[in-house]
Amino acid sequence: MDESKYWLGFSLVPEIGPRRLARLLSAFGDAASAWNATEMQLRRAGIESRPLENLLHARKRLDLDLEMERVRRTGARLITLADDAYPPLLRQIAEAPAVLYMRGTLEASDAQALSIVGTRKATAYGREAAHELARQLVRSGITIISGLAHGIDSAAHAGALAGGGRTLAVLGCGIDRIYPSDNRALAEDIVQHGALVSEFPVGTPPDGRNFPRRNRIISGMALGVLVVEAPENSGALITAAVAADQGREVFAVPGNIFNPSSRGSNRLIQDGAKLVMGVDDILLELNLALRNVQLQAAAEQIAPANGTEARLLEHLSADPLHVDELARLVGLPIAVVTSTLAILELKGLARMAGPMQYTLTRG
Sheet holding 321-322, edge to edge: 321-322, 357-360, 350-354
pLDDT of residue 240: 95
Where in the sequence is the domain holding 312, given as residue range(s)?
303-354
**Grouped pLDDT means (10 residues each) for the chain, 363 residues:** 88 89 87 94 93 95 95 95 90 89 95 96 96 96 96 98 98 96 97 97 94 94 96 92 94 95 96 94 78 54 66 85 88 78 76 81 56
In this structure, the chain runs to a length of 363
Residue 49 resides in a domain? no
Q: DSSP for 54-89?
A: HHHHHHHH--HHHHHHHHHHTT-EEEETTSTTS-HH
Distance CA(43)–CA(208), nearest Å, equals 35
In-domain check, residue 232: yes
CATH number, domain of 312, equals 1.10.10.10
Continuous segment of H or E residues that includes residue 274: strand 274-275
- Asked whether residue 206 is assigned to any structural domain, the reply reads yes
Number of domains in the chain: 2
- Sign of CA pseudo-dihedral 277, 282, 283, 285: positive
Q: Is the residue at 129 inside a domain?
A: yes
Look at residue 311 and tell me if it is in a domain: yes
Torsion of CA 112, 296, 96, 113, to 10 degrees: -10
> How far is Cα 143 from Cα 286, in angstroms, rounded to an integer?
12
Burial classification of residue 208, based on how many CB atoms lie within 10 Å of its CB (0-12 exposed, 13-18 middle, 19 or more buried): exposed
> Do 281 and 307 reside in the same domain of the chain?
no
- Asked if 134 and 205 sit in the same domain, the reply is yes
Burial class from Cβ neighbours inside 10 Å (0-12, 13-18, 19+) for residue 361 reads: middle
DSSP for 163-227 reads TT--EEEE-SS-TT--SSGGGHHHHHHHHHTEEEEE-SPTT----TTHHHHHHHHHHHTSSEEEE
Helix/strand/coil for 263: helix
Q: Is residue 236 part of a domain?
A: yes
Q: Cα angle vertex 173, ends 6, 73, to 5°? A: 55
Q: End of a domain among 295, 324, 340?
A: 295
CA gap 91, 206 in Å, rounded:
24
CA neighbours within 13 Å on the CB side: how many for 266? Answer: 12
Are 136 and 167 contacting, i.e. CB atoms less than 8 angstroms apart? no
Q: Which of 82, 10, 22 is nearest to 51 (CA)?
A: 10
Beta bridge partners of 28: none
Backbone angles phi, psi at 221, to 5 degrees: -85, -5
DSSP classification of residue 30? S
Strand order in the sheet with 113-118: 77-80, 99-104, 194-198, 167-170, 143-146, 113-118, 224-228, 249-253, 274-275
CB 181 within 8 A of CB 159: no
Verify that 234 and 321 share a domain, yes or no: no
Together in a domain, 207 and 334? no
Please provide the DSSP assignment of 142-157 as one string. Answer: PEEEE---TTHHHHHH
Asked if residue 334 and residue 290 are part of one domain, the reply reads no
| Residue 126 maps to a domain | yes
Q: Is 336 inside a domain boundary?
A: yes
